[in-house]
Amino acid sequence: MSDIEIVESLKRDLGEKALELTNPDRRRVFLKVAAPELVPTVTLLRDHYDSTHLSTISGVDKGETFELLYHFASLAASITVRTEIPRAEPRIASICAVIPGAVLYEREIQEMFGVTVEGVPDGRRLNLPDDWPDGQYPLRKDWKHVRPEEVIPGGKS
């Protein structure tokens, strides 16, 4: 199935659930869905579009919302599924029941953006140290890094 055929088929399969559907370049498909449609959309991609390889999940702090991008790779095309969630209530359903390998990416989204991924099988920290302060999310635009005072052993005080 070509990328153009994928777009036409997704239009038929998703209808109004596809908020945006574009084919900006050869073998690239961008699909935007509402957050409640994420898991059913990922299931559709896995079952009917040979999109079983999740390359990564990335996030963008857009101020009032967070945009989450789920990047799938297949032989036919790379499909990116985009969804937005409100900053005031940053929650999204886990896709691990559909794509088990998503667990590490979902843990990273939780830790770096403060998005609650509901149903993620393992919610432990992934990248940040265990003593990282609660409520501090380094990939949010409003996060400020405070550099600790450098201490040089044997140096002047």
Q: Can you list the domains of the chain with their CATH numbers?
A: 3-102 (3.30.460.80)
Nearest to 104 by CA among 126, 73, 82: 126
Mean pLDDT for the stretch of residues 56-81: 96
Give the mean model confidence (pLDDT) for residues 121-128.
Answer: 86
CA atoms of 109 and 126, how far apart (whole Å): 10
**Half-sphere exposure (Cβ direction) of 47: Cα atoms closer than 13 Å:** 8
Q: Phi then psi for 149, rounded to 5 degrees?
A: -65, 130
Q: Quote the pTM value.
A: 0.89
What pLDDT is attached to residue 59? Answer: 97
Give CA torsion, residues 32, 37, 43, 49, to 10 deg. Answer: -30
- Of 139, 108, 100, 137, the closest CA to residue 124 belongs to 108
Which two three-digit tokens encode residue 27?
């073998």
Percent of residues, the chain, with pLDDT higher than 90: 75
SS3 128: coil
Residue 3 has pLDDT above 80, yes or no: yes
